[in-house]
Structure 1
Amino acid sequence: MVKKTGRPAYLQIADDLREQVRGGSLAPGAPLPSTAQLAEQYDASLSVVKMAVGILRNEGLLIGQQGKGVFVRDEESSESGQVTAVDLVSEVIELRTAVRDLSQRLARVESTLSERSDQ
């Protein structure tokens, strides 16, 4: 559950997932729960969860596999420090999805504000 501490929700989620990886709750090679499952678990939006997962992917703790999901990176693959084309494609897809979700949310907020100002 994300707490109302003033710290952004995506950072709180990233911190918690990072701790699970480092603490062994999420073992190397283990799949991360789906974005929808994480959103429900943390009571957060899909875009917030995607941002948190993106941070951990950038840190090299997680790796995305197109069509399969996101997994805790094995130590062997994280030691190389190399970013593959698959990593980059997955990240671009995640970013595009996050931007689309945020654009839709912004459109709803603008519409609501517009309706209120017309009254």
Structure 2
Amino acid sequence: MKLDDKLAGPAYLQVASGIREAITSGELTPGEKLPAGPKLASTFGVALMTVRRAIETLQSEGLLRSAPGVGVFVAAAGTDDSDLATLRADFEALQRRVEQLEQLVLDASQRSGAE
């Protein structure tokens, strides 16, 4: 992926264009997770907020979908950001968080019982 410096306008549109090109060329495939924001910012040589705005733009176009706590993914071709897939990813992220919290509570309980 690279910054589309041929495109005039704000940097976030240039980043969005670069990601869009990576999707259309097959460099990024449907379902693939995008690198983390700081890595993308470094790749494109822009600020993290610029990357976030580019991602928001591509999400509104239906090219990307976000799963909170999991990441940003290339949307499946021919879909408009499937609500079911988003819900499923959100549920899985929540499930992992609950399991981590349960383990923390169990560990804390065992420590205080041993004291």
- TM-score interval (norm. to shorter): 0.5 to 0.7
Q: 1:33 to 1:66 in 2, by over 3 A?
A: same
Q: Percent identical across equivalent pairs?
A: 35
Q: 1:68 to 1:82 in 2, by over 3 A?
A: closer
CA RMSD of aligned residues (A): 2.7
How far, CA to CA, are the matches of 2:42 and 2:13 in structure 1? 16
TM-score, length of structure 2 as denominator length: 0.64
Shift of 1:74: 1.2
Q: Which amino acid aligns with 2:52?
A: K
Q: Which amino acid aligns with 1:15?
A: S
State which of 44, 63, 66 in structure 1 corresponds to 2:65: 63
**Residue 43 of structure 1 aligns with which residue?**
45
How far, CA to CA, are the matches of 1:19 and 1:82 in structure 2? 19
**Residue 53 of structure 1 aligns with which residue?**
55
Are residue 29 (structure 1) and residue 10 (structure 2) matched?
A: no
1:39-81 CA distances to partner (integer Å, 9 max, x unpaired)? Answer: 11111111110000111000000000111100001126x1xx3
Number of aligned residue pairs: give it.
Answer: 85
Q: Specify which structure has the bigger relative contact order, considering alpha-carbon pairs within 8 angstroms and separated by 6 or more residues.
A: 1
Q: Which amino acid aligns with 1:59?
A: E
Shift of 1:84: 3.7
- SS state of the match for residue 75, structure 1? coil
**Residue 10 of structure 1 aligns with which residue?**
12
Q: Which amino acid aligns with 1:72?
A: V
5+ residue gaps, structure 1: 91-119
Shift of 1:5: 6.9
Structure possessing the higher radius of gyration over alpha carbons: 2
Q: 1:6 to 1:23 in 2, by over 3 A?
A: closer
How far, CA to CA, are the matches of 1:74 and 1:82 in structure 2? 7
